[in-house]
Structure 1
Amino acid sequence: MSHCVLLNADYSFLNVIEWKRAMCMVAKGKVQVLQYSDRMIRCAEGVVFKLPAVLKLIKLIRIVYRNRVPFSKRNVFIRDGFRCAYCGGERVRLTIDHIIPKSRGGGQRSKIAWPPAVPATPGRAAAHRRRPKCISRSRRINRRFQSF
């Protein structure tokens, strides 16, 4: 039906919301109406309300991670310039190598990843190239427990 623009307390854009949610926020006193639309609604008691078009929040919502680039295979390749992080060579078929495997506390979306061009071959030398111990131990974060 009708949508409203929701702005943060510093007038930055947050979202577009439905008119029902907007009216609830106006009734609770969480927003300030900056502009009304031409549409009106009538409640069961016969009271007529103007629908808001632009709303501004009273309290500021702090958005921390808005400009973060999403972690994906393509973005890792773009970040590293489609080059191997180990030898610096360019390859056509690159793969993602996670420094910390899941079994050792890493996750699927680990931020410590680079594309290796070195094939995963059995042997001590290949395992050393795939997972350098100095990087994996120095950047490991235990995310299971909250710090106080």
Structure 2
Amino acid sequence: MGIITKSMHTFALQEIHRAYSSFDGWNLREEKMLDNDEMTVLLERMNGGTKETTKILVSYNSVITPDVLEDLKVSGVSNFGRPLRHGYAIIVPKNADISQIPAGVRVCSMSSFAIKDGALLWEKRPVRKTAGVPVATAQKVAA
């Protein structure tokens, strides 16, 4: 599942860049693939004289459990005596069961993937109506 996993992670990285924009100073420092097709991403930026880091877990599981948070709480970044702010977040498909995750954890839903009946689905963009379709035909389909 190597090629498929890499393309799935490409969509996940797009979601991360939407939430943590380089315009706001966020830089991708490290990506690490995990054994179960999950990925952790370490982002950092300088903000007001302090270094901020955020570790993000990208998971494609239908149920997210709190045990995944232990690795996210450790930044792994030394700041040589200066103050360091560390945050963590989880990016999951739409409709994933996150009921076991504590309230203070930032959870983002992917717009590219969803969970339906326990299976992972790729969410495609809606089909656009073309100019070649007559109005009467479009009205019949809509009715």
Q: Same fold (TM over 0.5)?
A: no
Give the TM-score normalised by structure 1.
Answer: 0.27
Q: Which has the higher strand share?
A: 2
> Greater CA radius of gyration, 1 or 2?
1
Give the TM-score normalised by structure 2.
Answer: 0.27
